[in-house]
Structure 1
Amino acid sequence: MVEEKEETTIEEKSEKLVGLEPERTNSKHANTIELTHKEVLTNDEHDQQYDDDNYVEGGNSEAVSISSSKLRVSPVQISNNNTTNIVSSSTREELLEKFGECSECKRPNTGDDNWCQSCNSEHFRSQFDKWKSDNENVDKIIRNAQLSAKNSNYVLEWIPYNKFKNVVYVAKGGYGTVYSAYWSDGHILGWDKKFNQWKRYGTDHVALKRIHNSQFITIEFLDQIARTHLQLHDGNMIIQYYGITRYPETEDYMIVMEFANQGSVRSYLNGRFNTMDWYGKINILSSIAQGLEYIHNSGYTHYNFHVGNVLRTGAETLITDIGIKKPTIKFTSVLRDKEEIYGVLPYLAPEVLYSKRFTSASDIYSFGVMMNEIISGLPPFNSVAHDNQLAAEICLGKRPEIPMHTPKLLEELIKRCWDTNPSSRPSAKELKDIITQWWDDIKNDKVTEISAQCKASDEVSRNSTFTPTPLLYVSHPEAVYHSRLLEFNNLPKPNKANRRTKLSSSLPYSETRQVDSVALEYQEEDENNETVSFLYYV
């Protein structure tokens, strides 16, 4: 069945495609040493566009911008035919020691599998006339990634759809549908000098994410893909992108990426929660915190941070859809963009709902909601409609229920993360440091406060009339857990007063499943400029 194509036309935009410094390490892929060169944006207008849009929180000085007319690159890099060979002796020695010498040009390799950026960029260039996507912007994104690749992790490819076998539907989200497939060739590993062709991984299980209504994919969306792919590859907790293809039935574009064989963390909880112990829960939280710290250290905000965008594969927990905050064709103007938010309501910080501006602190809020979800097993606010009323209550302090017998240290950290005041929330680094230490303490059975609290919590759960939260739950028909356009009106301004209270009990765990109900007064002026008060119970 062929889906109807949206008849939206996209006005022409300037050809500014962006790629950033990357490298990724995991069990399948190689390490790399970052070179000393910095490639900077060439167009001030391009910088201003994304500064205004809050695209990358704090900006990023290591971007590469390609326009139809020019590309400016610092001369400090491994050379190719278009650049100068200037590499410090210390960098050369480091590269030689780790990766060896290129058998073609006799200069240092820049990655494993004898990867030489200089030589391989020419191998890629020589094959540019052998493929095309029929979209000039897509071609530029892919070519830029190939020419700048310091190892195989940087590479993006245009992959004909007929290279995929056994394509099976997996799930549908707010702006994309995910399929499982087998890629007959597999991703590039390096250059085979003997056979004068690319060495490949071989048949590989991959995920195909079809982007809805992407026939006329925008330059902004491609820019998001390029930035996240090329800048975040050295993060072990970040999903790997391999390339782009096109779904023949609808002509939608599809992102080809690493397959997570256990699905999202939400799916993982649905199937395994009742067998998870504190070690398993904190292990997942530690991985997510490490990935979030890397994202923030790279100058990024996730924008759409929820358990559906955190995946499980083997023993790894990986973050995906970073920086993608809206569909591919909904761009009209910078002003319009600032007035819209897409996301999953229960994970959005009150200041995002009110001001429609994302920050790293709003990611921390989302992490707190996910932390509670992983501990409880239940989706946040699953028993109520995700509507204007819930949005207003979140702005005024309403939060998901914290499970009974949650270790106090975890409860306190959750409450810090979802504090109404963004400045009171911990940083991603602090989260990572705290949770990783907890995980290490429990793993090695150390005599620490967190270990004692987790043991006490487990003991109470075994001996009480309460049982662990079952996952045979029924969600409200208007509880929505995929990204969508959220249009809420007349939301109250979030109260930034610190609402966290000290736990009065001497017990090392929470005694009640539900957060204490608090009556909050919200005042506003009516049409006669008289003050009217409302009470919200949260």
Structure 2
Amino acid sequence: MSQEIGKIEYCPEGHSSNDFFSSYYQNIIRFQKCSLCTREHFMQEFKTWSSGNAEIDEIIRESQIVCMNEKLQWIPYDNFQNIKHVADGGHGSVYSAEIDRIIKSNWNFIRQDWEYDIIRKVALKEIKDSGYDIFEFLKVIKAFNIYDIYDEIKITSYYGISRNPSTQNYIIIMELFDDDLHNFLTMNFRDLRWEPKIEILASIACGLESIHTKNLVHCDLHSGNLLLNYGYYSDMGINLGLCKLENDLNLNSDDENDSIYGSIPYIPPEVLRGRGNKGNEFTEEGNIYSFGGIMYEIVTAQQPFADQAHDTYLMIDICNGVRPKVPDLMLNWIPEWYLDLMYRCWSDNPSERPTSFEIWNLFYEIYQKRLVNIVDNNVMQQLKIADENQKNTSKSQEQELFSYSCKLHSQSCYISRYIKTLRGLHDLLEEIKSGKSSDPNLLKPNESTILSKPIDEIRSQTEK
């Protein structure tokens, strides 16, 4: 039964469809559910649970009061079954887990009972880094949920918070995807043509534009934070783990050391340089620089600067205008306009980079034309030729290209970490160059180098 225009609906508790749930939405009464009843029943249960932290409790409860659909919830750890390790990241570890009738969706006023989201598996991100601001993260998620825009943009869904009783670490409960973009590209690079590539890029740009329209920026945008399901390239999610309000963006966790957090190849030069002239701050333009790195990976299956040590010397090179080079063997697979756009994203001058809307509009238009096989301009013609060139590549050339994409320097690092900016190292630069001081940004022997799966494992899976 749908709610007819002009007809006022009432629930058994006396709420009407003319009532307002919030300043954004009217109350919805249909299918034996009432938004205001659902809120009231969430509120009645406030005293039945606690995360053990008053601030986290307050954010979860406020989410259940102000968000129409996507509400954060406290879910005890013993509700999860078959917990399996998936990957390690900069702030902690990710696990998959099974659940059943745990995530409440709406109160059914006829049955007088909860209805639950039909979700069988979730991802559990256990936060092991004491420096991670989980309160800031929850505020970002609540801001997204207020507008209930998950169906419109490519953002990972977040269900709530739990806590590991063994470690006492808090856990973010989120949507489970098949893989991250980096692993997907590595395993499918040989067979990936331009239609799915454009679909993936359009999805990422759509999510990025949606983040920017809410005055948020992503402070750790790279292929490991872009999640997708196999066979559904537009079904992507951007991990919001390090999104922040643009007017509250100071990533400097230590004023004396002038440090930032991220993976060097994806960090824009203005942030690598450090404080001053908006240094140490991510911006929308900085996200576009990171998007350029994602564009590079999609056409090479290689993360930027994978064949180099990720150290202070690389940071200096990036700030001096050095950018990743596309192998000559791959150039005829890539349209010229695509390379031009990628290098615009990498411009040293943030004001010369395209906007997320411009990028999304371009890739969406191209994707729509590809669906109906329209080749009406130079952009579409170049794409057609690039696909034909890739299709006609010999097996030996493919093997050579794949061998290139599997190269990884022993001191490259794609797990985000704390890095000292050039400004913070100003007094030490000469000593580092002379060898008198060690480079604090050089990967340490006990540090991981890639986002999740070992490259040998990925290679063996691809070659089966």
TM-score range, shorter chain: 0.7 to 0.9
Secondary structure at 1:336 match in 2: coil
2:344 aligned partner = 416
* Residue matched to 2:191: 275
The equivalent residue for 1:129 is: 47
**Contact 2:252/2:260 (8 A) holds in 1:** no
Distance verdict in 2 for CA 1:95–1:192, change over 3 Å: farther
Cα-Cα RMSD: 3.1
* Correspondent of 2:406 among 448, 456, 473: 473
Aligned to 1:358: 282
Q: 1:404 aligns with which of 325, 328, 331?
A: 331
2:411 is paired with a residue of what secondary structure?
A: coil
Q: Provide the aligned length of Structure 1 versus Structure 2.
A: 395
Mapped partners of 2:425, 2:89: distance in 1: 29
- Which residue does 2:73 correspond to in 1? 157
Identity of aligned residues (%): 34
String of CA shifts for 1:322-371, please: whole Å, max 9, x gaps.
Answer: 5447xxxxx99987399331011111111111121111000011111101
Following TM superposition, by how much is the alpha carbon of 1:185 offset from its aligned partner in structure 2, in angstroms?
1.8
Q: Which amino acid counterpart does residue 460 of structure 1 have in structure 2? A: N
Query: SS of the counterpart of 1:378?
Result: coil
Q: Does 1:145 align with 2:63?
A: yes
- In structure 1, the partner of 2:34 is 116
Structure 1 residues 255 and 233 mapped into 2: Cα distance closer, same or farther (>3 Å)? farther
Aligned to 1:486, the other structure's residue is in SS state strand
Question: Higher mean Cα deviation, 103-112 or 403-412?
Answer: 103-112
Following the alignment from structure 1 to structure 2, what is the Cα–Cα distance between the partners of residues 216 and 398? 31
Aligned partner of 2:357 among 420, 429, 432 = 429
Equivalent residues in 2 for 1:26-425 (5 A)?
Answer: 101-108=10-17, 109-110=27-28, 115-151=33-69, 153=70, 155-202=71-118, 204-214=120-130, 219-230=135-146, 233-234=149-150, 235-260=152-177, 262-314=178-230, 315=232, 316-324=235-243, 336=255, 339-354=258-273, 355-402=279-326, 403-405=330-332, 406-425=334-353
2:373 counterpart letter in structure 1:
D
Letter of the structure 2 residue corresponding to residue 477 of structure 1? S
Q: Is the 8 A contact 2:76 2:162 kept in 1?
A: yes
Q: 2:357 and 2:28 mapped to 1: Cα distance?
A: 29
**Residues 96, 304 of structure 1: alpha-carbon distance in 2 compared, 3 angstrom cutoff:** farther
Return closer, same or farther for 1:115/1:492 CA change in 2, 3 Å cut-off.
farther
Q: With the length of structure 1 as denominator, give the TM-score of the two structures.
A: 0.67
One-letter amino acid of the counterpart of residue 57, structure 2? D
Closer, same or farther in 2 for the Cα pair 1:366/1:112, shift >3 Å?
farther
What is the CA-CA distance between 1:195 and the residue it aligns to?
3.4
Measured after TM superposition, the shift of residue 426 of structure 1 is: 0.7
Q: Would the aligned equivalents of 2:68 and 2:146 in 1 still touch at CA under 8 Å?
A: no
With 476-485 and 181-190 compared, the bigger mean Cα shift is at 181-190
8 Å Cα contact 1:114/1:190 also seen in 2: no
Letter in 1 for 2:227: L
- Per-residue deviation, 1:317: 1.3
1:454 to 378, 383, 388: 383
Q: CA deviation at 1:217?
A: 6.6
Query: Residue 126 of structure 2 contacts residue 170 of structure 2 at CA under 8 Å; is this kept in 1?
Result: yes
Q: What is the identity, as a one-letter code, of the residue corresponding to 1:243?
A: G
- The amino acid of 2:153's aligned partner reads N
Q: Tell me, yes or no, if the aligned pair for 2:68 and 2:148 is still in contact at 8 Å.
A: no
Cα pair 1:232 1:295 within 8 Å, conserved: no
The structural deviation recorded for 1:372 is 1.3
CA distance in 2, matches of 1:216, 1:446: 47
Q: Give the secondary-structure state (helix, strand or coil) at the position aligned to 2:305.
A: coil
Distance 2:207 2:361 in 1: 12
When normalised by structure 2's length, the TM-score is: 0.78
Which amino acid is the alignment partner of residue 458 of structure 1? D
Distance of aligned partners of 1:334 and 1:340 in 2 relative to their CA distance in 1, 3 Å threshold: closer
Q: Where do 5+ consecutive residues of structure 1 fail to align?
A: 1-91, 326-330, 494-523, 526-538
Compared CA separation, residues 284 and 219, structure 1 to 2 (3 A): closer
Counterpart AA for 1:484: R
CA apart distance, 1:198: 1.1
